[in-house]
């Protein structure tokens, strides 16, 4: 996916339709010059609805839309004729889309299942015509309800990538190389920081008939939780992953435990709930070290997290890693 085509944030003014006014009308005819009330009801204003579209991967289709307005309901008429409802606007969005009130930051809704539809802004109800208000004691009401107004809001749509496994690591930790080796995904790979600027998804087959989705999240930097680099934009994609796979390269200038805990702290500061997710630590680029150095590095591994030494280049322990991930994903 071209980086310029990956859009995970848009801000749009949405407006639902207002309801049509009820009619205050009385029947008039040659045989009935003073007929009773026959005012019809106003039509319902159109809703704004978000619908999950599995074919959409980004918010690119909404990138240049600044205003999306639903149609107003039509007013009622005489002869008990109701006004037509305003057309509802359905906005297709990718799975993982979150809608927020741009002023308060309140989460209005989330789209997480294929085919799911949720009303973002309901249209106003149509007003009742005067026929609705006639009673045995008031046979000629001269009033009718106005339609309800629609709702208007600036709303932020954010995309949080949905994946079973999210790769967490500093730039150049080998995340893109790993994803390309275990799936058909072809992320941009280079020996420099921030090669990856957008999340990449790949379908991993651990064994025949056993598949899961892995996401290469762009590299975190120290201070990402404060918004450094593109911290907030990167970190929010981790929130929807079931398992976090931490990658620390064997040739890190820090020791493995220190780098792991720095990454863990960035997640903790951004959203403490992320620490409740299952975690696995993979020490990458092990083709660069010999067995003696690997044994020395094992003595520096952090406690309390399953660890594995891998190399996507030499394919060392890649199958074992996939089996670990599959077992964790299917653990009760």
The pLDDT score that the predictor gives to residue 282 is 93
**How would residue 176 be classed by pLDDT, with cut points 50, 70 and 90?**
confident
CA distance 198 to 215: 10
Written out in words, the top-level CATH class of the domain with range 163-329 is alpha beta
Name the residue ranges covered by the structural domains of the chain. Answer: 1-159, 163-329
The pLDDT score that the predictor gives to residue 228 is 45
Q: pLDDT, tens digit, for every residue of 127-160?
A: 999 999 999 889 999 999 999 999 999 999 998 8
The pLDDT score that the predictor gives to residue 191 is 45
CA distance 167 to 274: 13
**How would residue 318 be classed by pLDDT, with cut points 50, 70 and 90?**
very high
User: Of 130, 174, 125, 171, whose CA–CA distance to 150 is shortest?
Assistant: 125
Show the tokens assigned to 37. Answer: 């009330």
Instruction: Considering only residues 34 and 199, tell me which one the structure prediction assigns the higher pLDDT.
Output: 34
The pLDDT score that the predictor gives to residue 126 is 97
**How would residue 99 be classed by pLDDT, with cut points 50, 70 and 90?**
very high
Element (H, E) at 265: helix 256-270
Written out in words, the top-level CATH class of the domain with range 1-159 is mainly beta
User: Which of the residue ranges 60-74, 102-116, 223-237, 293-307 would you say has the lowest mean pLDDT?
Assistant: 223-237
Asked whether 51 and 139 are in contact (CB, 8 A), the reply is no
The pLDDT score that the predictor gives to residue 291 is 87
What count of other Cβ atoms lies within 10 Å of the Cβ of residue 172? 20
The pLDDT score that the predictor gives to residue 109 is 95
Where are the strands (E) in 28-151, listed by range?
A: 48-52, 67-69, 89-93, 97-101, 107-111, 117-121
Asked whether 48 and 70 are in contact (CB, 8 A), the reply is yes
CA distance 130 to 114: 44
Instruction: Find tokens 């995904």 and name the residue.
Output: 185
Q: pLDDT, tens digit, for every residue of 240-263?
A: 788 999 999 988 888 899 989 988
Instruction: Considering only residues 176 and 4, tell me which one the structure prediction assigns the higher pLDDT.
Output: 176
The pLDDT score that the predictor gives to residue 180 is 85
């Amino acid at each position: 996916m071209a980086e310029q085509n990956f859009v995970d944030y848009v801000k749009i003014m949405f407006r639902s339709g207002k309801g049509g006014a009820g009619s205050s009308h009385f029947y008039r005819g040659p045989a009935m010059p003073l007929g009773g009330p026959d005012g019809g009801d106003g039509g319902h204003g159109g809703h704004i609805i978000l619908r999950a579209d599995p074919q959409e991967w980004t918010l690119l289709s909404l990138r240049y839309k600044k205003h999306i307005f639903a149609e107003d309901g039509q007013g009622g008429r005489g002869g008990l004729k109701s006004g037509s409802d305003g057309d509802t606007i359905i906005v297709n969005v990718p799975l993982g889309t979150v809608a927020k009130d741009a002023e308060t930051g309140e989460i209005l809704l989330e789209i997480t299942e294929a085919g799911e539809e949720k009303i973002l802004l309901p249209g106003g109800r149509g007003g009742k015509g005067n026929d609705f208000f006639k009673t045995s004691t008031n046979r000629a009401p001269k009033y009718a309800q106005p339609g309800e107004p629609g709702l208007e809001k600036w709303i932020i749509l954010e995309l949080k990538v949905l994946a079973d496994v999210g790769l967490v690591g500093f730039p150049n930790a080998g995340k893109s190389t790993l994803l390309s080796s275990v799936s058909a995904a072809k992320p941009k790979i280079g020996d420099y920081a921030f090669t990856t600027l957008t999340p990449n998804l790949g379908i991993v087959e651990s064994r025949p008939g056993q598949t899961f989705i892995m996401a290469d999240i762009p590299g975190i930097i120290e201070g990402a939780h404060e918004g450094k680099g593109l911290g907030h934009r990167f970190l929010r994609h981790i929130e929807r992953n079931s398992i976090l796979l931490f990658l620390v390269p064997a040739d890190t200038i820090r020791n493995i435990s220190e780098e792991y805990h720095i990454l863990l702290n960035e997640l903790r500061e951004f959203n403490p709930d992320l620490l409740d997710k299952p975690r696995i630590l993979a020490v990458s680029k092990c083709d660069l070290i010999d067995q003696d150095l690997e044994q020395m590095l094992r003595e520096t591994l952090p406690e309390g997290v399953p660890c594995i030494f891998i190399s996507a280049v030499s394919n060392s322990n890649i199958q074992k890693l996939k089996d670990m991930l599959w077992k964790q994903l299917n653990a009760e």
